[in-house]
Structure 1
């Protein structure tokens, strides 16, 4: 099995595994340090490498599945897509640039490699270019979801708690392919062990969206990220980490010093921003919706650690008390916040705090809860959602859009539908701006920790070549976004075509 995995990775052009083996041989031949301390250090390094090889092997296996599940020919790209050496020109289109303006005609897009080189008049020639005729269809940026759990969306909670981590990565890799083929070329992951998946996508091992990873969610004891059983309590001071902590879904931290430590760990692993859990939730096992979590001192510790790393903190929170506490601590992104009052929203406006809202409307796409307590909490959030969107517009808050599909494989395919629902609150062009240009600005809040530093969500010179050619008219409605399989004729990320039905 190990030999097969090694061959798979070498075939992909990744020699990390072979290099590790080579380093091991050199150490044995050339090192005379046989002391006890060096032996212990060597054993610990080898154990860590074995763990990394296992995760890498899981991703390599996912790559094999990726090649098997793609169609051939015009429908999708080859298993190892290559950037075309010539410029690519997309013409005969209606161009929506991601700013909310009406689609423009008479323009064409010039791509070179992974980037948009220029937008020029239709009549202007481009020498030695590969042409893509959009057939008069809509040309728009790739979609962006700023609250999408890449590792946790397509499994249920029991599976997440009981399965081998390799299985979780395989499911997540398959769902990443589906996410990209729904037209989502970028997502911000608000919690979960997405680092290996992000790396595999970036290296071209599997197909998927760009990922802005938060790493493990930081939660207090009894908080929204405490998934332990009651029988696991009390936790001794030197006790082992809980399963969800070892896997990297959430980290339990109590007190400012412990919060500092856990945040710094996620930054070391490669988090582009930090996620803290500052209040209760609907699906929580223990914490009621109205609970406030983390003291201001603990929240400030998280913000300080993130700020030192030149990035920011996002906070799961619903209530006015929790929202205001987060803002005072310096949190830059309120996740959910459907129970916000007017004072809280004014504080957001005054501090330039961003608001990540989701259409939680207790409708046919909502999670089903068998108990009255959670259904009542869900109803309270649904009522608050309508009010929240009204206040976001009234106070001109920087508002992003996300789905927050969690532990629900049936709902992952509704991702585009969740965006289209926002036409209940905004005109279609504004909604499409939220799902593209506005969310592109949102993910860029990560500043120096931004893994993709060029413009996302807009069709402009110098932006990434992430785009969709679709049947639809965003001046009228966004129904076409709800059915990407039928209406998205071309999907491109980083200048590579992943779907082409033109």
Structure 2
């Protein structure tokens, strides 16, 4: 496949290059400022870009495929096949929004990933965490108060039964929970280290998991060559996670500037979401209040992260409201409220990809790079009708502005 007459954003450079891009199989065979000739011995699909911008496929560092695709009622009352098939359908939707890779941060996505990787259904590359790991009464404990916790002999909650969460207390059970997710194909591990808006029992100030429990998780993940990412908003939880060796802080909206500076000092990633009121809706005033508090921290944390040079990834964390799933594209464009357009585009492409590669030998796509337009990289590409370096808002309407989407060297959309 040959893209001609395109302006190229390579995933890093602040300016566009004009040239041709040749794809051979699943990878990019060459990027040239001179016209690339066709091989007469091989059939070649030629796409004339008409001076549009060719850029790497985007990635989302914090999705919940099954959580995003299913409502609360689906998750509680639906069969596991119903939940999984909704997740598979949403994976296709994400790809058609231009997201060619995602890091799934809680949910049983192994089968969805397998179907996509075998080319049987359209969807992005998936970096699965499998079940997120939580203490009793923590952010991932969705058992009801009248039920005994598993640590005291009770049954698993529905969230555990469907592989969305795993409740584990004490270093030994945390070790087992981490190893269970790795056994199921996790490329990285997700641990809950503080309170959250979606959960019922844990105020945002709570700190979850003791030092020995957290270190057990980090040790078990490191033995498999990968890392731990932690859900946490508050200062104490972030600092405890960093001390334990965690490599990625998910959220962090209630941090102070000194703690954000610490992330830069310790080379820890901040996997942030540009949350605003309306991204999530909660039926009770307690959780709605927690959501409002989280959103107040967005501007400050982005400002401090830029000031101190923190490695920052971008994600969405949309959950349990399938009708809001297209907001993923709006939230990508919203990065322009906090960063320059080129900084935002780097984060959406090569920046997120750098975080994903922390999975090391657990990286399921380590044979080539993604998030860049470069020789040898995976052929995951978007042809944009317009220049996102000038107008990041183009990404908010992928149906209109993404003319061609290629993933793994295969055209999944072409409206030219």
TM superposition score category, shorter chain reference: over 0.9
Distance 1:193 1:227 in 2: 16
User: Residue in 2 aligned with 1:467?
Assistant: 381
| Residue 493 (structure 1) shift | 0.3
Match 2:39 to one of 119, 122, 127: 127
- For 1:426, the equivalent position in structure 2 comes to 339
* Mapped contact 2:150–2:167 kept (Cα < 8 A): no
Provide closer, same or farther for how the CA distance between residues 133 and 173 of structure 1 changes in structure 2, counting only shifts above 3 A. Answer: same
Residue 99 in structure 1 maps to residue 12 in structure 2 = yes
- How far apart are the structure 1 equivalents of 2:150 and 2:101? 38
The Cα offsets for residues 286-305 of structure 1, whole Å up to 9 and x where unpaired, read as: 11111110011110000000
Q: Is 1:250 aligned with 2:165?
A: yes
CA distance in 1, matches of 2:184, 2:288: 37
Residue number among 391, 404, 410 corresponding to 1:490 in the alignment: 404
Once residues 400 and 82 of structure 2 are traced to their aligned partners in structure 1, the CA distance between those partners, rounded to angstroms, is 30
Q: Displacement of 1:235 after TM fit?
A: 4.3
Partner of 2:282: 369
Q: Which is strand-richer, 1 or 2?
A: 2
**CA 1:166 to 1:381, structure 2 compared with 1: closer, same or farther past 3 Å?**
same
Residue 130 of structure 1 and its aligned partner are, at CA, apart by 3.1
Q: 1:238 to 1:426 in 2, by over 3 A?
A: same
Shift of the alpha carbon at 1:264? 0.4
Verify the 8 A CA contact 1:490 1:501 in the aligned structure 2.
yes
Establish whether residue 290 from structure 1 lines up as the match of residue 202 from structure 2: no
* Matched residue SS, 2:229: strand
Higher-Rg structure is 1
The alpha carbon displacement at 1:236 in A equals 6.3
Structure 2: distance between partners of 1:349 and 1:262: 29
**How far is 1:475 from its partner?**
2.6
How far the C-alpha of 1:154 sits from its partner, in A, is: 1.7
Cα distance change, pair 427–322 in 1 and its aligned pair in 2 (3 A) = same
Gapped regions of structure 2 (runs ≥ 5) = none
RMSD between aligned residues: 1.3
CA deviations over 1:244-272 (Å, ceiling 9, x no partner): 21211000000011100000010011100
Measured after TM superposition, the shift of residue 239 of structure 1 is: 4.0
Distance 1:358 1:265, change over 3 A: same
Residue 370 of structure 2 corresponds to residue 456 of structure 1: yes
Q: How does 1:169-208 map to 2 (within 5 A)?
A: 169-208=84-123
* Alignment equivalent of 1:414, drawn from 320, 324, 327: 327
Q: Cα–Cα, structure 1 residues 237 and 423, in superposed 2: closer, same or farther, change >3 Å? A: same
Conservation of the 8 A alpha-carbon contact between 1:192 and 1:249: yes
Contact 1:100 1:432 in 2 (8 A): no
Taking the aligned partners of 2:398 and 2:49, their CA distance within structure 1 comes to 16
Q: In the alignment, is the contact (CA less than 8 A) between 2:22 and 2:36 conserved in 1?
A: no
Distance 2:179 2:377 in 1: 31
Q: Secondary structure at the match of 2:262?
A: helix
SS of residue paired to 2:68: coil
C-alpha displacement of 1:237 = 4.2
Q: Are the aligned partners of 2:143 and 2:156 in contact in 1 as well (CA < 8 Å)?
A: no
Gaps of 5+ in 1: 1-87
**Where in structure 2 are the equivalents of 1:208-219 lying within 5 Å?**
208-219=123-134
Q: Please report how far the alpha carbon of residue 185 of structure 1 lies from its aligned counterpart in structure 2 after TM superposition.
A: 0.7
Give the number of equivalent residue pairs. Answer: 412
Conserved 8 A contact 1:441-1:456: no
Q: Is the 1:91–1:122 contact (alpha carbons within 8 Å) kept by the matching residues of 2?
A: no
Query: Deviation at 1:100?
Result: 4.2
The TM-score with structure 2 as length reference comes to: 0.96
Distance in 2 (alpha carbons) for counterparts of 1:239 and 1:186: 38
Determine whether 1:313 maps to 2:237: no
1:33-89 Cα offsets, whole Å, 9 max, x none, are xxxxxxxxxxxxxxxxxxxxxxxxxxxxxxxxxxxxxxxxxxxxxxxxxxxxxxx21
Indicate the SS of the match to 1:146: strand
Q: Secondary structure at the match of 2:146?
A: helix
Alignment partner, residue 145 of structure 1: 60
Superposed displacement of residue 343, structure 1: 2.1
Q: 2:394 aligned with 1:480, yes or no?
A: yes
Distance 2:292 2:317 in 1: 17
CA distance in 1, matches of 2:288, 2:14: 40
- Among 49, 74, 96, the alignment partner of 1:159 is 74
**Cα distance change, pair 244–124 in 1 and its aligned pair in 2 (3 A):** closer
- Alignment map for 1:3-152 (pairs within 5 Å): 88-105=1-18, 107-128=19-40, 129-152=44-67
Q: Is the Cα contact below 8 Å between 1:114 and 1:494 reproduced in 2?
A: yes
Higher relative helix content: 1
